[in-house]
Chain A
Amino acid sequence: EAQVTQNPRYLITVTGKKLTVTCSQNMNHEYMSWYRQDPGLGLRQIYYSMNVEVTDKGDVPEGYKVSRKEKRNFPLILESPSPNQTSLYFCASSTTGGPLVEQYFGPGTRLTVT
């Protein structure tokens, strides 16, 4: 089944404790992206990747890192999480053409930073 998977689905952590949210897709997509969803703000793009070893900042990259060492994986790293990073995070992927074609979204990761 074609899908985007994220792990963990739920995470509660404390300020300053490094964490990684994994994202994996099995559709051989070139483009991958991370978004955060906050009430009243919709989804905002954090980082995106056009292909392996090619990443760039979205609208709200501060406090986040990403890497794209393999085509299928695009982990989101929070080196020193803070409470304002409490949010619902979505990973998405799409074929050549990036977000201008259909993006396939993962199920989301709900992160709480205390």
Chain B
Amino acid sequence: AQSVTQLGSHVSVSEGALVLLRCNYSSSVPPYLFWYVQYPNQGLQLLLKYTSAATLVKGINGFEAEFKKSETSFHLTKPSAHMSDAAEYFCAVGNNFNKFYFGSGTKLNVKP
């Protein structure tokens, strides 16, 4: 069975500060890991994905995530938050059986 745990349902940072959103996964097979972002009243869009190539993955809008197998983690970071980053972020894991599992989401608030 696979699952995804996102620590912190709400994270608040100041504009210009580091963004760190945490994600831990459990998977019985090598995982495919993703971060999706959902802006208010919109569907989800892909930020980045890990599919067993480089462990540090760069995505859109300056976000990146590092796959750490020993910690079963795939935390999302951005060095400097912008007001436009305010959204809900979902970590997700897929497997070779075509099922897909999302975490419960983390809402990012960016303060001026």
Interface residues of A (CB under 8 A from B): 4, 31, 33, 35, 40-45, 48, 50, 56, 58-59, 90, 92, 98-100, 102-103, 105-108
Q: Which 7 A-B pairs have the closest CB atoms?
A: A105-B43, A99-B100, A42-B102, A43-B102, A42-B104, A98-B98, A99-B94
Binary CB contact string for chain B from 3 to 41 against chain A (1 if under 8 A, 0 otherwise): 010100100000000000000000000001000000000
Q: How many interface contacts (CB-CB < 8 Å) are there between A and B?
A: 59
Compute how far the CA of A58 lies from the CA of B100 in the bound complex, rounded to whole angstroms: 8
The interface stretch among B44-52, B63-71, B72-80 is B44-52
A43 and chain B: residue at smallest CB distance: B102
Contacts of B101 in A (CB 8 A): 45, 59
On whether the beta carbons of B43 and A100 are closer than 8 Å, the reply is no
Q: Taking CB as reference atom, which chain A residue is nearest B4?
A: A42
- Which of A31, A33, A90, A99 interacts with B43 by CB under 8 Å? A90
With A40-B104, A42-B104, A43-B90 in contact, do A58 and B32 touch (Cβ < 8 Å)? no
- Cβ contact of B45, chosen from A45, A50, A105, cutoff 8 A: A105
Closest CB of chain A to B50's CB: distance in Å? Answer: 11
Further contacts, 20 of them, CB under 8 A, given A31-B98, A59-B99:
A4-B43, A40-B9, A42-B4, A42-B90, A42-B102, A43-B90, A43-B92, A43-B102, A45-B99, A45-B101, A58-B99, A90-B44, A92-B43, A98-B94, A100-B94, A102-B46, A103-B100, A105-B44, A106-B43, A107-B42
Which residues of chain B have C-beta atoms less than 8 A from A40's C-beta? 9, 104
Bitwise interface map of B from 73 to 112 toward A, beta carbon under 8 Å scored 1, else 0? 0000000000000000010101010111111110000000
A100 shortest CB reach to chain B, Å: 5
Q: Report how far A33 CA is from B4 CA in the complex, Å.
A: 19
A108 to B40, CA, bound (A): 12
Q: How far is the CB of A1 from chain B (nearest CB, A)?
A: 14
Chain B residues whose CB sits within 8 angstroms of the CB of A43 once the complex forms: 44, 90, 92, 102
